A and B are shown apart, each in its own frame.
Chain A
């Protein structure tokens, strides 16, 4: 597989949220505004790429039997780094994302890439895979959070984009909106990929 294919694979064919549907908790919870969605997406890219690099470098040294605990510790270390950096430099975002930053450690997406890709491939490929999967995650977060913020608040990045007479659909930024809009987005993706095949 060439490098560009690895990268594109994460965004389209194996998009972590819209196709594989892993790592849903944070996706549903933090996408109430576009800024939060992008912040979470970038945090996940950082942890995913970092852990992919280290796991790929150590793949000859980690015995097969203890690979899962080893992955978890590496991922937890990167999550802690991101957690502390966000606490220091982007405090408002840190507070908005709350418990979901430490919870990156149990995001199945990252463990799945460690197991399925980084443990079996070289460093360069693993970096590209991390960036591609991360980008796919970010794209899905942007889609979901922009729809939710637009419908629920009439804003994008907190700036009004609709006339003042627009009555916000509160439900979109409340919990039910997360489930329903993500469900419809996945339905749309299914529809498009079925049409492409046919």
Chain B
């Protein structure tokens, strides 16, 4: 598969939320306003890309060479947790402005299954290093697109006159489903 089509596939056709269902928690939790959604989206792009580089290297250099593949889950989650912590400390010291903008989203990302999910998918699909990177950037960009679009939709939905029982997460899920139908339209795309 060539890299451009891999990128478009991972960003749009197999959108991480609408067709793979990874990262649904922050997608539903942090999408009340467009600017917080965008902040979360950028933080996720940053962490997924970094985490994919490190987990890929650890998998190939340490786990595969020592035959310790069964430790994959434990290793990866520790790497991601430590990485998020380091990124947080680094940003706090060297880029206070960025830290202000992203700070509150970073701790949430440790338990974002998108990060661990992309790291594991990179390994199970047997991508080479370049493909893994393209897949990570594409997938996280897909997350950004989805959460920002969804925040826009939710803004309108919240003002709609709804039956009391459907207010809140129920109607949000239905709205996400309708957006997912729109994204399903990309699956016919010939790449």
Contacts and interface: CB of A to CB of B under 8 A. Distances in A.
User: Which residue of B20, B21, B23, B71 has the most chain A CB atoms within 10 A of its CB atom?
Assistant: B21
A77 interface: yes
Nearest to B18: A175
Given A105-B116, A194-B164, A179 B72 contact: no
A45 interface: no
B111 A99 contact: no
A105 B19 CA distance: 21
A39 B122 CA distance: 25
B176 A76 contact: no
* Prevailing SS type, chain A contact patch: helix
B74 A80 contact: yes
- What's the interface size class on B, roughly? 35 or more
Given A22-B25, A105-B116, A76 B77 contact: yes
Contacts of A184: 170, 174
Contact of A99 (B28, B117, B173, B177): B117
B180 A191 contact: no
A183 B180 contact: no
Nearest to B116: A106
A179 B176 contact: yes
Interface residues of A, number: 43
Interface string A129-143: 000000000000000
Contacts of A26: 21
Interface string A3-30: 0000000000000000001111110110
A77 B74 contact: yes
B77 A105 contact: yes
Contacts, number: 121
A79 interface: yes
Contact of B22 (A25, A69, A179): A25
Interface string A57-77: 000000000000100110011
B166 to A, nearest CB: 5
Given A105-B73, A179-B177, A194 B165 contact: yes
A128 interface: no
Interface in B146-169: 163-166, 168-169
Interface string A66-99: 0001001100110110011000000000000011
Contacts of B101: none
9 contacts: A72-B78, A77-B74, A80-B73, A102-B73, A175-B184, A183-B175, A186-B173, A187-B170, A190-B166
Interface of A: 21-26, 28-29, 69, 72-73, 76-77, 79-80, 83-84, 98-99, 102-103, 105-108, 111, 171, 174-180, 182-184, 186-188, 190-191, 194
Interface of B: 18-25, 28, 70-74, 77-78, 81, 110-113, 116-117, 120-121, 124, 163-166, 168-178, 180-181, 184
